[in-house]
Structures are given as structure tokens and as C-alpha cells.
Amino acid sequence: MFHTLKDLFNTFVPTSEGAVGSRDEHTLQLATAVLLVEVMRSDAEVDETEHAAILAALGRRFGLGSDERERLLELAETASSEAVDFHHFTSRINNGFDAGEKARVIELMWEVAYADGHLSNHENHLMRKIADLLHVSHADYISAKQRARATTNAA
């Protein structure tokens, strides 16, 4: 059975009043995961290596276990398909992450873009657009791209 986005979000986000910090962290995790999904969906075909790259990125960035990563990815895919723009997600990241963390999100996005061994024009355009929305400097954007390319080529 399909769940609504709200149902999926509520299963992922703790609802206790004392969990505001956790809720904020989960919101940042979801926003980051949605941007990774957008990169995966931006080229002509979704490749399993891109899917695996997202799961690995979520594990490294947030220290999530396998089940948590799968659940977050499912939620992100739903949120991505229902979203009309990126503002909801980029604004969460802008409010919750510092400049270094936002550059790291861009690096993770590049890792997903490079995962299938081909960088499409759509992926490249999306990366620049998101970097602009996250207010990532051009120097940090290029550094993130180079680190991701080196990591992906080394793997």
C-alpha cells in the first residue's frame, strides 16, 4: 500500500516534544536525500549504481544503518516526486548547515552524478542550480566536484 508523504514523514520523524533536535536532524537528512534523488533522476535513466551511491552517501554523511537509509531513500523518492521545486529542501539545508556542510552536500551529489560513469548535461545543470540555491561559492563547488571525481574514479 502506498502511504501519503505525511504518513511516511511521520514514520521517520520522532513525534515526542523533547525530540526537536532529532526532528531537525531528520528534516536535514530528508532534504539532503531528496537532492541526491534529484541528481539520480536528472539523467535519462536511473542506474542501480546511482541508487547504491545514494545509500552509501547517506550512511557516510549521517551514520545511518541499512534499514534507516532504505527508509530515508523511500521517503526522499516520494518527496521528490511530489515536489514542485527545490526551495522547500534547499531552505532547510541553508538554515541547518554551515558553508562547509553545504559544500559536502554538493560533493555527495557529485558522487551520485559520477556513479554511473557518465555525467549528463542535465546532471551538470542541476548541480550548478542547487549549488547556487545553497549559496555554495564557485571555489567550493569546483573543489567538491574534484573530490567527488577523484573518489569515484578511485573506487
Query: Which CATH number does the domain housing residue 109 bear?
Result: 1.10.3680.10
Residues 39 and 113: beta-carbon distance below 8 Å: yes
Average pLDDT over residues 99-128: 94
Q: How confident is the model at residue 24 (pLDDT cuts 50, 70, 90)?
A: confident
State the total domains in the chain. 1
pLDDT score for 16: 41
> Strand, coil or helix: what is 78?
helix
Of 13-22, 25-34, 47-56, 111-120, the least confident: 13-22
Average pLDDT over every residue of 124-147: 96
In this predicted model, which residue has the larger pLDDT, 148 or 1? 148
Compute the radius of gyration of the chain from its Cα atoms. Answer: 15
Q: What is the mean pLDDT of residues 69-86?
A: 94
Mean pLDDT calculated for residue range 118-146: 95
Phi, then psi, of 13 in degrees rounded to 5? -95, 130
Which of 134, 140, 135, 123 shows the shortest CA–CA distance to 28?
Answer: 134
pLDDT higher than 80, residue 6: no
Structural domain of 81: 5-154
What pLDDT does residue 153 have? 74
Q: Which of 38, 29, 26, 55 is nearest to 130 (CA)?
A: 38
Give the CA distances from residue 96 to residues 51, 52, 134, 152, in Å, rounded to whole numbers and listed in that order.
25, 26, 11, 27
Separation between Cα atoms, residue 118 and residue 149, nearest integer Å: 11
9: helix, strand or coil: helix
SS3 113: helix
C-alpha cell at 6: 505525511
pLDDT band at residue 37 under the 50/70/90 scheme: very high
Mean pLDDT of 69-83: 94
Is the predicted pLDDT of residue 26 greater than 50, yes or no?
A: yes
Write the DSSP string, 13-45: S--SGGGHHHHHHHHHHHHHHHHHHHHHHHSSS
Q: What CA–CA distance (Å, rounded) separates 97 from 42?
A: 24
Q: If you average pLDDT over every residue of the chain, what do you get?
A: 86
Instruction: Give the model's confidence band at 47: pLDDT under 50 very low, under 70 low, under 90 confident, else very high.
Output: confident
